[in-house]
Structure 1
Amino acid sequence: MTTHLAAGDWRARAEAHAERADALTAGHRARAAARERHPIEDFLFTYYSYSPGLLRRWHPGAGVELGGAAATPRAEWRWYAPGDEPGSLVVDRAAMTAEKGAMLALVERMLRRTASRPGAFGCFGLHEWAMVYRQGEHRHPVPLRLGQAATDGVVEAHELRCTHIDAFRFFTPEATPRNRFAPTRESQPELEQPGCLHAGMDVYKWAVKLGPLAPGELLLDAFELARDIRYLDMQASPYDMEPWGGEPVRIETAEGKAEYVRRQRGFAERANGLRRELLDAAFPAGSAGSAEPARSTPIAAG
């Protein structure tokens, strides 16, 4: 089923989207011009390597016909095709699937399987601690809040339960064997679970990969979620983030653990809501590539 948007309606949405994207990236763009860096907020632009300009580009999502769009520069954009109404454009799902079918299947698999599983909430953000365990040099040029010896002691007093390959791959050699799991890229679809902060941040990555199949509003929602998660990620880390607005979540204490899990559960709920919205938008029932079966394999990580 195709939804038609009149020219005035979709242009207003595209303009509002660009204004929202500009507001979300204003700080990063100003710091980049001044050659300055915020270790929390600028992380998303290096970790994912997506530019502010990409965030600015609005797409309607699959199954939406844009009236009068054929007379605009959008007609030259990749994966757009003429719609049923003269002068209109729609996202060309068939062409995108033909070129990016394997990638789209992976995105659907990751979104659907992650959303279908129960969350694990016993990791307490110790992945960042494992990345500095017994190391004199660290990934971020920020002092450790407790110092090296006490930081190492926190790691040794807990079980590491990281399920995410893109966190686990940065563990120090000494921390790697301490983890309950050994995540790999191949096992990622089986290990990903909604309680993981990195999996929540990755909703933004999957939205980007969906390109024009994902409505622009959902892309910015996913970016905001990733930014908010990154704050908790670094607040609960061993680094002293207070100079950058990151009041510590002291996961080495019972109170800090409770605060971390409370916020972690909230992020899991937000992330799953976005996963379902992206699936509904990009892979509606009956569309090509919407046959990924639901999986509910529990992850025994806490």
Structure 2
Amino acid sequence: MGMGVVVLSEAEWTARRDAHAARVRAWTGPHHERKAAGIKHPVLDFLFSYYSHRPSRLERWHPGPGVLLEGGKARDYLRWPVYRETADGVELDVAAFARERAKTVAFAHRLLTATASRAPRFGCFGLHEWAMVYRQRPDQVRHRAWPLRLGSAGTDAVVESQRVQCGHFDAFRFFTPQARPLNALQPTRETQVDLEQPGCLHASMDLFKWSYKLDPATPSELVADCFELALRVRELDMRASPYDLAELGYPPVPIETAEGRAEYVRRQSAFAEQAAPLRAALIGLTRTLLDAPVAGV
């Protein structure tokens, strides 16, 4: 048995597995119910549609690197080829995973470390959601079942009166063609590593994406932590949007006012602080994977 390996008895790891499943079913259960009833939710669906991690995979528990699972039930994990059986139990084959996901691991490490190295900026005020509906006809608006708080003309006026400065490519790519020239930055996939910064709400939400992109190497408790943060960030994202979602229990953060912008910045700053340790944990995971032995490659 290698140095630094955490050994979990069958009773210990099954308890952790069951606790994880119970935690995430508080989110996946209502999602399944809405889907079965044909109910669309403009805030919560995003976490299961834009992000591609299936609810069944979110519910599944994985221990992460350096953890040995004891007991006969541990052999169930051998269904995934990145697990291996030893004389003492079952563990993640870190070298095999690192070989299989080398490009993803390397990119995630570059992006996350670059983001963490920068000071957070808080001057965007959530205008990306407004820029996504700028000068659109009502039938073109993404969440057209929900009214715009200020109407189409009022929404356009807010975009035109503010400095739009979104640096996150995966938000910018959904801007309307008329809104893109108004953005102070013109992010691309190629400049993503150069532009992402920790104050960005989408950078905080995307920690969930990078946690599941490294599944099953990511400890599932960390995946759940990232999902929970993404959920709370998404709520602010849509409360600060042009949509009127008060009926769903999301009172607006009116970024068209000085008070609303100040509230947005306070909440944005708090999320950046909460995201920092999760980003650090993911960086630590990518470092572990990058440092894995490559013999046999």
Please, what TM-score do these two structures have when normalized by structure 1? 0.91
| Closer, same or farther: CA 144–170 of 1 in aligned 2, 3 Å | same
Displacement, 1:78? 3.3
Partners of 1:179 and 1:191 in 2: CA distance: 14
Q: Deviations over 1:254-278 (max 9, x none)?
A: 1000100000001111111101122
Kindly provide the amino acid, as one letter, of the partner of residue 101 in structure 2.
K
Structure 1 counterpart of 2:183: 179
SS of alignment partner, residue 233 of structure 2: helix
Kindly provide the amino acid, as one letter, of the partner of residue 243 in structure 2.
Y
2:75–2:90 Cα contact (<8 Å) kept = no
SS of alignment partner, residue 62 of structure 2: coil
| Closer, same or farther: CA 252–218 of 1 in aligned 2, 3 Å | same
Structure 2 counterpart of 1:118: 119
Sequence identity percentage: 53
Kindly provide the amino acid, as one letter, of the partner of residue 108 in structure 1.
H
Displacement, 1:68? 2.2
SS of alignment partner, residue 180 of structure 1: coil
Displacement, 1:2? 1.6
Q: Deviations over 1:271-297 (max 9, x none)?
A: 1110112223442498239xxxxxxxx
Partners of 1:140 and 1:100 in 2: CA distance: 35
Partners of 2:281 and 2:217 in 1: CA distance: 12
2:168–2:187 Cα contact (<8 Å) kept = yes
| Closer, same or farther: CA 286–35 of 1 in aligned 2, 3 Å | closer
Structure 1 counterpart of 2:11: 8
Moved over 6 A (4+): none
Partners of 1:285 and 1:100 in 2: CA distance: 9
User: Which of 249, 255, 260 is residue 253 of structure 2 equivalent to?
Assistant: 249
1:214–1:282 Cα contact (<8 Å) kept = no
Displacement, 1:70? 6.6
Structure 2 counterpart of 1:98: 99
User: What RMSD, in angstroms, separates the aligned Cα atoms of the two structures?
Assistant: 1.6
Matched, 1:157 2:158: no
Matched, 1:73 2:76: yes
Displacement, 1:37? 1.4
Matched, 1:57 2:37: no
Displacement, 1:71? 5.2
1:62–1:212 Cα contact (<8 Å) kept = no
Structure 1 counterpart of 2:266: 262
SS of alignment partner, residue 210 of structure 2: helix
Displacement, 1:87? 4.7
1:167–1:198 Cα contact (<8 Å) kept = yes
User: Which of 139, 151, 171 is residue 142 of structure 2 equivalent to?
Assistant: 139
Equivalent pairs counted in the alignment come to 287
Structure 1 unaligned regions, length at least 5: 290-302
Partners of 1:229 and 1:92 in 2: CA distance: 34
| Closer, same or farther: CA 69–264 of 1 in aligned 2, 3 Å | farther
Please, what TM-score do these two structures have when normalized by structure 2? 0.93
Structure 2 unaligned regions, length at least 5: none
Partners of 2:257 and 2:281 in 1: CA distance: 36
Kindly provide the amino acid, as one letter, of the partner of residue 39 in structure 1.
P
